[in-house]
Amino acid sequence: MRAILVVNPQATSTTAGGRDVLAHALASQVKLDVVETDYRGHAMAVARSAARDGIDLVVAHGGDGTVNEVVNGLLADAVTSGSSPRAGGSATRTPVSGSGDPAEIGRVPALGVVPGGSANVFARALGISADSFEATHQLLNALENDRSRRVGLGLADGHWFTFNSGLGWDADVVGRVAKRRGKQTTAGLYMRAAVRSYFRPPLGRPALTIRIPGEDPIEALTAFVSNTDPWSYLGERAIHLNPGCSFESGLGLFALSGLGLPTVFKHVRQALATKSNQRGRRLVRHDDLPVIRIDAAEPVNFQVDGDLVGQRTRVEFFSVPDALTVIV
C-alpha cells in the first residue's frame, strides 16, 4: 500500500516529535511519503496529485482545515461545472462521473485522520481520539484489520465539506476568527467573536431565502447546513443543531428567521443540552435533505468546515452519499 502523510506544522497541537512518531509507525505498514505543508492550499494540491497518481491512502495530520483541504484535493477531479435540474429546475454545479449522478464518484484514495488542531470536529464525529498518539494507534489498528467506513459529504458551490457549512452569523464568526491568525483558536475566542459578530455584523443582516424540495420558500437571517451532528464543540462541550443528521443521512438544515436575544439564548441553551431537541417559533429545521438552495438579498459571508470561503448571494448544497472511504 502506498500512502502520503500530510502534516500541517502550524496546526495547534502538531509537534515535530509527534510527526516523527506517526511517520515511523505508518512506515512500518505502508510505503510512505511525508509532506509538510507550507502555504494555504498545499494540502489540497498534495491530495489532488495523490488521487491522480493512484495513491492508496492519504493521512491528514492537522486540524479541520487540513482535513478539509485534503478531502477537497482527493475529490477535486470529481467536481465540474455542469447543468442538472435540481431544486425546482435550476441549473447547478454538479459532481460528475460518467452519468453526472452525485452519488457516483470514481476511485479516490482512502483518508486517514490524526488530529492536530483545536476542535477536530470531523475526527471526533468518527470516534477518533483527540490525542495524536492514541489516534495513531487507532489508525494502525484499522489498517492492520482492514477496517474502514464510507461517509457521505456535503458539496456547496464546488467546495466539499465534512461536517458543516453556513451563511450569515456563523460565517461572520469564522471570518472574524480568521483575522486573528497566530492566536490559538480557543472556545473563548469563538465566543467573543460570536458576540461581536452578533452586535456588529460586518455585512449587516441581509435576508436569506431557503428553498428545499417540496416546500415553499423560507425566509431566514442565518442558516447552518450540517453533514453530521454534533456540529461543533465549545471545548469539550458538543453543540447539537441537527441530532438526526449523520454521515449516512442527507444534510441537516438549521435556520433562524429572527435573531432577537431571547431567540438566540433559547437556541444556544438547547444546542448545548446533552439531549438536544431544538424547537422554536423562529426555527426551521430538517435532518435529512438531499439538496438545499439559499439566496441572499445582498452578499453574505459563506464558510465550509470553519473556513471562510468568501461572500455569496446564492449557494446550493448537495448531499453526496458514500463519497469517501475513511480508515477508522
Which CATH number characterizes residue 71's domain? 3.40.50.10330
User: What's the domain count of the chain?
Assistant: 2
Cβ neighbours around 280 below 10 Å, total: 15
- Asked if residue 157 is part of any domain, the answer here is no
- Asked if residue 143 is part of any domain, the answer here is yes
Give yes or no: residues 46 and 122 share one domain.
yes
Give yes or no: residues 183 and 274 share one domain.
yes
Instruction: Check pLDDT > 70 for residue 97.
Output: no
E-assigned strand segments in the chain: 2-7, 31-36, 57-62, 79-80, 94-95, 110-115, 149-156, 159-161, 164-167, 208-211, 218-220, 222-226, 232-234, 237-239, 251-256, 283-289, 291-304, 307-326
Query: Which cell is 293 given?
Result: 438552495
State how far the Cα of 99 lies from the Cα of 287, in Å rounded to an integer: 27
Q: What is the mean pLDDT of residues 303-309?
A: 94
Q: What is the mean pLDDT of residues 37-54?
A: 96
Quick one: pLDDT at residue 275? 64
State how far the Cα of 171 lies from the Cα of 34, in Å rounded to an integer: 33
Give the residue numbers spanning the domain of 87.
2-152
Q: How do residues 185-221 score in pLDDT, each as one tens digit?
A: 777 888 899 999 999 999 999 999 999 999 999 999 9
Confidence band, pLDDT 50/70/90 cuts, at residue 81: very low
The torsion angle over the Cα atoms of residues 81, 85, 91 and 93, rounded to 10 degrees, is: -30
Give yes or no: residues 318 and 174 share one domain.
yes
Give yes or no: residues 112 and 176 share one domain.
no
Which has more pLDDT, 135 or 235? 135
- Asked if residue 41 is part of any domain, the answer here is yes
Give yes or no: residues 133 and 198 share one domain.
no
Quick one: pLDDT at residue 198? 95
Q: How do residues 158-172 score in pLDDT, each as one tens digit?
A: 999 999 999 999 999
Q: How do residues 2-21 score in pLDDT, each as one tens digit?
A: 999 999 998 878 888 888 99
- Asked if residue 158 is part of any domain, the answer here is no
Give yes or no: residues 143 and 217 share one domain.
no
Peptide bond into 230 cis (omega under 30): yes
Give yes or no: residues 318 and 243 share one domain.
yes
Give yes or no: residues 137 and 187 share one domain.
no
Give yes or no: residues 146 and 235 share one domain.
no
Give yes or no: residues 169 and 131 share one domain.
no
